[in-house]
Amino acid sequence: MKGAIFFSGKYGSTEQYAKWIGEATGLPIFDIKDAGADPSKYDFLILGSSVLYYKLTIRKWARANLSKLNGRSKILFSVSGAGPSDKLERWVAASFPSQLLTQMEHVALHGRLDHSKLSWWLRKILWMGSLFNPDPQAKKEERGGFDYMDKSSIEPILKIIGQFQYSGHNT
Ligand SMILES: Cc1cc2nc3c(=O)[nH]c(=O)nc-3n(C[C@H](O)[C@H](O)[C@H](O)COP(=O)(O)O)c2cc1C
């Protein structure tokens, strides 16, 4: 069974998780912006996506490649400021056709927000958004940034990849 990692990120944290998974498994890694990122060449897929403005950034690519994603074993890892939660599951559900969602396991990873990498107007937008955020911790993080990057959090993904590889071995 051949597998590959396809990721979509903007500020580097999703790419970092993709690299950690690639290092641990030897699977090739593709940025979805690469012209050669073709999921139809693989038996199982690890899809990684950051969450910006309550949506998965991989959503348009996933819709455009729906026929190639259908029927292949898949994991989705999301990288976000919100930790695993009902609201995160709702954002994920709203980003993907339900048919695709039912075919894959979702693992929620916690990312990083470095304000020094953002433009002044984006910092302003986040600050304004924080005014309406009822969660005090999330409010603080929107204003000041956060870093929850954690290599050990990829373990559940490595476990599922191991199952994909093992099941392929026996067929
Ligand atoms: C403009 C902007 C919007 C964001 N929107 C959300 C959001 O709606 N929900 C959330 O949980 N995190 C949000 N985040 C936090 C990102 O998901 C987090 O920083 C993630 O690690 C970014 O991934 P990347 O470095 O691969 O781009 C946002 C961050 C930025 C900069």
Q: What is the mean pLDDT of the chain?
A: 93
Residue nearest to atom 18 of ligand 1 (CA): 80
Does the predicted TM-score (pTM) go above 0.75? yes
> Which residue blocks in the chain are alpha helix, DSSP H?
13-25, 59-64, 66-69, 86-95, 98-101, 120-131, 136-144, 155-169
Over residues 86-137, the pLDDT tens digits come to 999 999 999 998 888 998 999 999 999 999 999 999 999 999 999 998 889 8
Residues of the chain with CATH 3.40.50.360: 3-111+153-169
Atom of ligand 1 nearest to the CA of 122: 1
52 CA to middle of ligand 1, Å?
4
Q: Residue 166 — pLDDT band, cuts 50, 70, 90?
A: confident
Q: Is pLDDT above 50 for 171?
A: no
Q: Which residues line ligand 1 (CB under 6 A)?
A: 9-14, 50-54, 79-82, 111-113, 118, 122
**CATH classification for the domain delimited by 3-111+153-169, as one of 3.40.50.970, 3.40.640.10, 3.40.50.360, 3.40.50.1100:** 3.40.50.360
* CB 7, CB 14: distance < 8 Å: yes
44 CA to middle of ligand 1, Å?
26
13 CA to middle of ligand 1, Å?
10
Number of Cβ within a 10 Å radius of residue 168:
14
